Amino acid sequence: MTVSSAPGKVYLFGEHAVVYGEPAVPCAVERRATVSVEPREDDHIRVEARDLSLDGFTVEYAGSTGDHPDVNVPTPLVEAAIGYIDAAVEQALDAAGESDVGFDITVESDIPLGAGLGSSAAVVVAGIDAATRALGVELDAEEIADRAYRAEYAVQDGQASRADTFCSTMGGAVRVEGDDCRTLDTPNLPFVVGFDGGAGDTGALVAGVRDLRERYGFAADTVDTIGDIVREGEELLSEADPESDPDESLLVELGNLMNFNHGLLEALGVSSRSLDNMVWAARTAGAHGAKLTGAGGGGCIVALDPTPETQTGLRFTPGCEDVFRAELATEGVRAEAEHDDASTGETAE
Amino acid sequence: MTVSSAPGKVYLFGEHAVVYGEPAVPCAVERRATVSVEPREDDHIRVEARDLSLDGFTVEYAGSTGDHPDVNVPTPLVEAAIGYIDAAVEQALDAAGESDVGFDITVESDIPLGAGLGSSAAVVVAGIDAATRALGVELDAEEIADRAYRAEYAVQDGQASRADTFCSTMGGAVRVEGDDCRTLDTPNLPFVVGFDGGAGDTGALVAGVRDLRERYGFAADTVDTIGDIVREGEELLSEADPESDPDESLLVELGNLMNFNHGLLEALGVSSRSLDNMVWAARTAGAHGAKLTGAGGGGCIVALDPTPETQTGLRFTPGCEDVFRAELATEGVRAEAEHDDASTGETAE
């Protein structure tokens, strides 16, 4: 049994626009997906998923090239999760030069699925790391990030950016612009996440922005404008001392940029009633800024507030199902000690 | 006693950006301010205001150049209303070549104050028309619009655009870009207005956009982008048959542009929690699009829906105090027959 974990992320700035070559700044946060893999005697893949914001499911099928069987919880989210695990296994086999190895795979995650916190990237990154290590191959972080990107790219029909997978692999705050991926040295920002219990349809949301952008020059300009906000934001971050707590003026300025970014995302049609409701609740509670994070359409918002006020405010906001402080995850993908919770409940090695 | 009325308006597109020379398309709607004036023997101005979303007030003071006395309801909104009436009287005296004529003035309005429906422009336009006619001068519409603009400009410290006053004077849909004001021939759009019972501080909101625009290139770009939406919208309107009801595809496209425009206004910081809440309620109810109208910060939203659904949805939305269908007011400023309701309760002529 080989176990790896990788963090989810919030977007400080730049989701959606990053698909069109604009920069984005995602920040890894301490919510992790943990993937345990155990090579099998045959070439079957058995996936057991727990805690994916649903009741868990188990599915077994014949290798990454075989037909996918019926799933016991056949929701679109589960189908999506299987697709990512499948693509991760394919990358791991390719990296190890293997083709007919099967795995028992257990996925545990405290990152809600499809909610804008990068659950799929975390699963793919942890899955590639665990599966390659199980096959005796040690990939460096750059290669894990690259293979994870290729896995997402395949599953998402070419609509992926490197942002989520690079961020989940490296941890911390990162800056991604096309193929150019860098880690950023930033102070630990006081993120608060609100979750409406829902999920957006990433594919449809990305397609919606693409349609608007192709149809209207002003929508293309709006995407460019998001890139300008990101550039402004990273300049602010670069001037801050990464070793000390961010000072109030930095939080105020970052918050203003987050608010502006959120409005442009709302213009692009990727917000939702409950996301806007949580964004306003956070601002009303005193957050320096708040925006949706990720693809939108439902799921999570991220706010900036060093005080407990925003958490309290969101906790009393109807439609906000969960609130938590999201510490910056300075570690990206990492090997985990095998533990009972992560076992499949069958034989541990 | 001379009585004039002028309509309020909703912004189909372009508020705020119009201040910076971008085009805007306000549409006059059948909510009117009625101003009755009666020249006095002395040069005092006595203003009685009713139905201005507050309990009414009466104030008397010595001429437009004299000191303003205490008002019995000294809210900022009343102060503002007096400022507009004052400026309208000044314009009327100037047009008539008079200087020492006083008036008893009664203002009645079913346009909520400061709520984005152009209450101040309607009062100024109707006031100038009534006061000049009372002095035996008949101004043409262009001059009324121009003088009303100058009155607003004076009261608002140079932050006025010609949009509100031109629209209220001419009626119907208009297109204003800097000093270039035109009437548009449009079909009667199915406007629904939701009102949160509040008001925004127009001066502070306009100043907020100005600050953002001076500070950030991306905010200036966002203002420009609003102009592009307006140009797109007016092209759609120009292709529609003004004689028949708008077809669904036009409403869908206009609605998309309204939604986009709202997001950009939200980015510029001029929306509010209750405005966004009503916007989402309207969209959820099936409106083709919805946006705040006017300066924002509170007040009204305008939605596009030929069915009763949006009205019903807004009626059941907590925080929405009033909902009404806003028919396009094809008539702008007009003389009204004197009627008892419009009299000051004192001697009618």
Cβ-based contacts of A225 with chain B (< 8 Å): 218, 221-222, 225
**Is residue B335 included in any domain, yes or no?**
no
Question: Same structural domain for residues B180 and B198?
Answer: no
User: Predicted confidence band at A52 (pLDDT cuts at 50, 70, 90)?
Assistant: low
Residue B54 is predicted with a pLDDT of 45
Question: Same structural domain for residues A145 and A196?
Answer: no
For chain B, residues with pLDDT lower than 50 are: 53-56, 64-66, 69-74, 341-349
Question: Same structural domain for residues A162 and A221?
Answer: no
CATH of residue A301's domain is 3.30.70.890
> What's the whole-number mean pLDDT along residues A40-69?
64
Indicate yes or no: CB of B225 within 8 angstroms of CB of A228. no
**This model's pTM is above 0.80:** yes
Question: Same structural domain for residues A181 and A234?
Answer: no
**Is residue B51 included in any domain, yes or no?**
yes
**Is residue A17 included in any domain, yes or no?**
yes
Average pLDDT, chain A: 90
Question: Same structural domain for residues A94 and A124?
Answer: yes
**Is residue A142 included in any domain, yes or no?**
yes
Residue B312 is predicted with a pLDDT of 98
B313 Cα to chain A: minimum distance (Å): 14
Indicate the residue among A132, A167, A185 that finishes a domain. Answer: A185
Name the residue among A193, A136, A209 with its Cα closest to residue A324: A193
User: Predicted confidence band at A70 (pLDDT cuts at 50, 70, 90)?
Assistant: very low
**A-B C-beta contacts closer than 8 Å:** 89
Cβ-based contacts of B228 with chain A (< 8 Å): 216-218, 221
Of B218, B261, B263, the CB nearest to A232: B218
Question: Same structural domain for residues B203 and B174?
Answer: no
- Please determine, for residue A61, whether its predicted confidence score (pLDDT) is greater than 90: no
Q: pLDDT tens, A100-152?
A: 899 999 988 889 888 999 999 999 999 999 999 999 999 999 999 999 999 99
Residue A269 contacts residue A53 (beta carbons within 8 Å)? no
- Please determine, for residue A264, whether its predicted confidence score (pLDDT) is greater than 60: yes
CATH of residue B81's domain is 3.30.230.10
Q: Which domain holds residue B294?
A: 191-326
Give me the amino acid identity at B152. Answer: E
**Is residue A84 included in any domain, yes or no?**
yes
**Is residue B344 included in any domain, yes or no?**
no
**Is residue A305 included in any domain, yes or no?**
yes
Cβ-based contacts of A212 with chain B (< 8 Å): 260
Residue A59 is predicted with a pLDDT of 59
Question: Same structural domain for residues B18 and B159?
Answer: yes
Of B228, B232, B266, the CB nearest to A266: B266
Question: Same structural domain for residues A232 and A178?
Answer: no
Answer left, alpha or beta for residue A279, where phi above 0 means left and psi between -120 and 50 means alpha.
alpha
Residue A328 contacts residue A170 (beta carbons within 8 Å)? no
Residue A272 contacts residue A194 (beta carbons within 8 Å)? no
The bridge status of strand A173-177 relative to strand B180-184 is unpaired
Give the tokens for residue A95: 């990296």
Question: Same structural domain for residues B164 and B209?
Answer: no
Residue B82 is predicted with a pLDDT of 81
Indicate the residue among B158, B185, B212 that finishes a domain. Answer: B185
Best residue in B13, B209, B211, B222 to probe A by mutation, most A CBs within 10 Å?
B222
- Please determine, for residue A180, whether its predicted confidence score (pLDDT) is greater than 70: yes
Residue of A nearest to B272 (CA): A280
Residue B43 is predicted with a pLDDT of 87
Indicate the residue among A185, A220, A235 that finishes a domain. Answer: A185
What is the domain count for chain A? 2
Question: Same structural domain for residues A205 and A143?
Answer: no
Residue B48 is predicted with a pLDDT of 83
Question: Same structural domain for residues B228 and B144?
Answer: no
**Is residue A269 included in any domain, yes or no?**
yes
Question: Same structural domain for residues B154 and B217?
Answer: no
Residue B347 is predicted with a pLDDT of 40
Tell whether B288 is within 8 A of chain A (Cβ): no
